């Protein structure tokens, strides 16, 4: 049997992934004033132990103003490094590659957590700290929605320092032990706001034409690459289509420019500028509904891509790679439901019959289970499922 591509190693620069299964970055909203907690260690650690080749920590903010809510992780000062180093050490010890996404919420900041309604925060919130330093800022003074406050538009003179914050965060991510870095340029957050004609109404060098609106993203990528070791890969997540004036054709152009700035992989997602979620659409209920973005950018921009969006089954993920539609597949909610998805997929695709790629404290017991669990059990009940009567 041909070895599944899903479980074939992939080298990007000097980093080798043992497989193509990626934990997509998912906000945990669980920090303590920006500091990582035991929740973050547990959360990342279970996916590393469960077989993912690349474990990406959630969007971690490059400056205080960039926090979306009170629970966001931070990288705007060196004090955050030790807590993150604890996480990278654990991921690496489980034979997975530690990665982190860095971001800035822009006008989608200063809100309560999603399950708390994402309402505007106030200074008297019990978890509030540094309210005076949490200025609500954006490319233009346009609110994300009618229920959210209007941000202050960046002055032209503020933008160089803003770009520098991304580079400084990248340098800290390296010191914290991460081997792959992703810039968050999607989902209606700050970089996406600069890209969007809906959110960006500037009349200077950062607004107007597509080229001007791409300027901030490209300057951030250049600054991050300059502060991120050359031997380590750099990813960038894009909303390749947002139903608000930005689409796949512009994303291809931007991806080519990003590649020239040293970005290695485009993480292809969608939506976020408008208040409604892209998951609300009928199309979003289809398996792999965003894979066409990864396929198009890979083919037309000549850059590696990562596919995301309702990737659920092992054979589905394998088919995406076999067809050359992407180089990596990232899962989020499916991994929340089954943190051992990668382990299970390896079994289903015949890639690891002896459980050799998971920690021995798991693999030894699972090997014994595989050899003995169903001996003498009627075939109608094998694998814990009663087969339909013939």
Q: Which residues are catalytic?
A: 189
339, 328 Cβ separation under 8 angstroms:
no
CA dist., res. 201 & res. 244, Å (int): 13
- CB-count burial class (<10 Å; 0-12, 13-18, 19+) for 184: buried
DSSP structure string for 320-371: HHHTTS-SEEEESHHHHH-TTHHHHHHHHTTS-TT-TTS-HHHHHHHHHHHH
DSSP structure string for 2-15: PPPGGGS-EEETTE
For residue 217, give the nearest of 247, 269, 187, 255 by alpha carbon.
255
DSSP structure string for 297-314: HHHHH--EEEE-SS---H
Q: What is the CA radius of gyration of the chain?
A: 21
305, 265 Cβ separation under 8 angstroms:
yes
Torsion of CA 170, 174, 180, 182, to 10 degrees: -20
CA dist., res. 292 & res. 82, Å (int): 39
Show contacts of 205-212: CB within 8 Å, 24+ apart: 205/156, 206/139, 206/156, 206/159, 207/139, 207/140, 210/250, 210/253
What is the enclosing helix (H) or strand (E) of 41?
helix 38-49
196 torsion bin: left (phi>0), alpha (psi -120 to 50), beta (else)? beta
| 269 beta partners | 239
CA dist., res. 330 & res. 305, Å (int): 10
């Amino acid at each position: 049997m041909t070895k599944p591509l899903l479980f074939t190693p992939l080298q990007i620069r000097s980093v080798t992934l043992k497989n193509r299964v990626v934990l997509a970055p998912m906000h945990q909203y669980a920090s303590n004033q920006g500091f990582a907690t035991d929740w973050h260690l547990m959360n990342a650690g279970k996916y590393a132990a469960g077989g993912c080749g690349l474990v990406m920590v959630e969007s971690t903010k490059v400056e205080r103003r960039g926090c979306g809510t009170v629970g966001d992780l931070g990288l705007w000062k060196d004090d955050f490094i030790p807590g993150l180093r604890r996480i990278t050490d654990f991921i690496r010890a489980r034979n997975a590659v530690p990665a982190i996404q860095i971001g800035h919420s822009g006008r989608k900041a200063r809100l309560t957590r999603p399950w708390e309604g994402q309402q505007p925060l106030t200074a008297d919130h019990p978890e509030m700290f540094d309210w005076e330093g949490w200025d609500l800022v954006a490319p233009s003074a346009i609110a994300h929605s009618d229920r959210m406050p209007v941000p202050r538009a960046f002055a032209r003179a503020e933008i160089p320092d803003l770009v520098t914050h991304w580079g400084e965060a990248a340098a800290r991510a390296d010191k914290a032990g991460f081997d792959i870095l992703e810039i968050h340029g999607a989902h209606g957050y700050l970089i996406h706001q600069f890209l969007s004609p809906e959110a960006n109404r500037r009349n200077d060098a950062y607004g107007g034409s597509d080229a001007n609106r791409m300027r901030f993203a490209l300057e951030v990528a250049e600054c991050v690459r300059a502060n991120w070791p050359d031997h380590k890969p750099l990813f960038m997540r894009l909303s390749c289509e947002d139903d608000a004036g930005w689409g796949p054709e512009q994303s291809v152009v931007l991806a080519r420019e990003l590649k020239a700035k040293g970005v290695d992989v485009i993480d292809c997602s969608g939506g976020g500028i408008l208040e409604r979620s892209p998951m609300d659409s009928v199309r979003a209920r289809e398996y792999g509904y965003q894979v066409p973005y990864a396929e198009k950018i890979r083919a037309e921009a000549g850059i590696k891509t990562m596919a995301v969006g309702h990737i659920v089954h092992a054979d589905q993920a394998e088919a995406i790679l076999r067809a050359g539609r992407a180089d990596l597949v990232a899962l989020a909610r499916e991994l929340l439901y089954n943190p051992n998805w990668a382990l299970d997929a390896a079994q289903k695709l015949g890639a690891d019959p002896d459980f050799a790629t998971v920690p021995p404290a798991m693999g030894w017991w699972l090997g014994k289970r595989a050899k003995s669990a169903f001996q003498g059990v009627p075939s109608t009940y094998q694998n814990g499922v009663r087969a339909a009567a013939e």
